[in-house]
Amino acid sequence: MTSTRYRPYPEYKDSGVEWLGRIPAHWEIRRLGSTVASSQNGLWGDEAQGDENDIVCVRVADFNRQRLVVCEPEEGFTIRNVTGARRSGRVLQRDDLLLEKSGGGEKQLVGAVVRFQFPGPAVCSNFIARVVTQEGHDARFLTYLHSTLYSARVNLRSIKQNTGIQNLDEKQYFGEPVSLPLQTEQQAIANFLDRETAKIDALVEKKERLIELLQEKRTSMITHAVTKGLDPDVPMKDSGIEWLGEIPAHWEACALKRLGTIRYGLGEPPREDPDGIAFVRATDISRGRIDCSTVKRVDAADVPWEREPVLRTDDIIVVRSGAYTGDSAIVPPELDGAIAGYDMFVRIQHARPRFVAWALLSTYVLKSQIDLLQLRAAQPHLNAEELGGILILSCSRSEQQAIADHLDRETARIDALIAKVQEAIERLKEYRTALISAAVTGKIDVRNEVKA
C-alpha cells in the first residue's frame, strides 16, 4: 500500500522472523527488550488534596492511538495525590514511552504505546508502564515500531485474559524479536515518518471537518423541514413558544402522546440465541437508524410476552438513558417482529410515523426539549411521561408525507457523501499504518528523504 516512489534498500537478508520477512542486510535482529533501559508500573495514587503532592496522572483514555502521543483531554488531565516516596522511578520525562498493560476490549487489543511529550511533573496510572528508552535508540522510532507490532497484532500472543480485562505479559512482549538499524538511521526514519504522518493527519482533519459540516447541514435541513415546511412562501404565525419562533400558519403543536402510544421495552434481556428473535438495544441505534449488523438475537422461550415488547414496522425506538438519551430510530421492515430492549418505543396512530421520526431527530426536540429535561436530572434519563409531553409540530398528513419523502431523499444524499468521505479517511489511515510499517521494518529506504 506504500507509494512506489520509495525505493527498497540495496541489499536484504532473511530475518528468520515470520512477520518481519526480509530485512535490510545491515539491520540486526534483537529482542524488543534491548531497547528498554527500565520499565516501571504506574500508580493511581489518592484523591487530590490541593497540596504539593498533587500531580498529573496520565490515563489510557489520554492516549491518542492515531498520533501515538499523549493528548490532554478537553476537561484537563486527571490530578491525583502521590507522595514523594511513591513517585520514585515513576515521574514521567519527555520522550518516555507509555505502555498500556491492562485494558483493551472486544474490538481493541491492549498493548498500545504512545510517547509522552509534556513538560512538568506527571505520573501514569496503574494500567500503564513507564518505559525509558535504552541509550543508543530513538524514542520516536521505537514508538512507530511499537505501533507496527500493535497493528500487526504481534502483541496478541502476549495478552492474558483476566476477568474480562486484557493484561499484557510485559516480559513476553519485550521478548519479541524486532529488526533494528543504528540510532542515526532510526532518527532519519523517525524524521521521515514525522513529516509524512503529519501530512496525512492534516488531510484526515480536513475530511473530518467536512463530515462535521455535512452533519450540521443534515441536522439543519431536518429541523427546518419539520418546523417551517417545504414552501418558502407559506404564511407564518408566532408559535407562542419562545425557543420555536414562527411556524407555518396552518400548523399546530401537540404533545407526542396525542399522536400514539408509548411503551417500555424489556428491563432484562432474554437469553441469547443466535437463531432466535432480533433484540434491539440502545447500542444498535444512531442518528435515526438501527444497525442491523449489531442486533443480537434472543431465545423466544425466555421472552416475557405479557409485556408486549414486540416491535412493528414504523415504530420509533427512543433511547431512555445513558450518553445517547433521546436518540431515536424508526423500525425498518426487516426488524418487524423484533423485541424492544430497555428503551421506549412509540407507535404512531394519528400522524405519519416517518414525519414524527424526523421531528424527533430535530434540534427543536433534542436540544430545546429533551436536553433541558436531562439538565434537571442527576443522570441522563427519559421516562414515558416526559417523552409523551414532548411537543411535536403537526400539519396535514399529505404535507407530513411530502416532508418525510423530501428528508428521506435529501438526507440519503448527504449520508452517501459522508460515507464517501469516511471511506477516504479509512484509506488514509490504512496508508499511514502501512507507511509506518514499511519504514520501520526496512521495506522502503527513506534515509535520504528528510535531511536531519
Per-residue pLDDT of 310-333, as tens digits, reads 999 999 999 998 888 999 999 999
Spans of the chain, pLDDT less than 70: 1-4, 106, 162-164, 375-378, 451-452
- pLDDT (0 to 100) of residue 162: 63
* Domains within the chain, CATH numbers bracketed: 28-180 (3.90.220.20), 252-394 (3.90.220.20)
| Predicted TM-score of the model (pTM) | 0.86
- pLDDT (0 to 100) of residue 41: 94
- pLDDT (0 to 100) of residue 242: 84
Q: CB-based contacts of 378: which residues, under 8 Å, 6+ apart?
A: none
| Measured torsion, CA atoms of residues 437, 440, 443, 448, in degrees rounded to the nearest 10 | 120
- pLDDT (0 to 100) of residue 74: 87
Cα separation of 141 and 46, whole Å? 35
User: Percent helix, strand, coil in the chain (nearest 5)?
Assistant: 35, 25, 40
- pLDDT (0 to 100) of residue 161: 76
- pLDDT (0 to 100) of residue 215: 96
Nearest to 143, CA basis, from 262, 35, 25, 288: 35
- pLDDT (0 to 100) of residue 140: 97
Where do the H-state alpha helices sit in 176-309? 183-228
* Torsions phi, psi for 144 (to 5 deg): -65, -40
Per-residue pLDDT of 269-286, as tens digits, reads 999 999 999 999 999 998
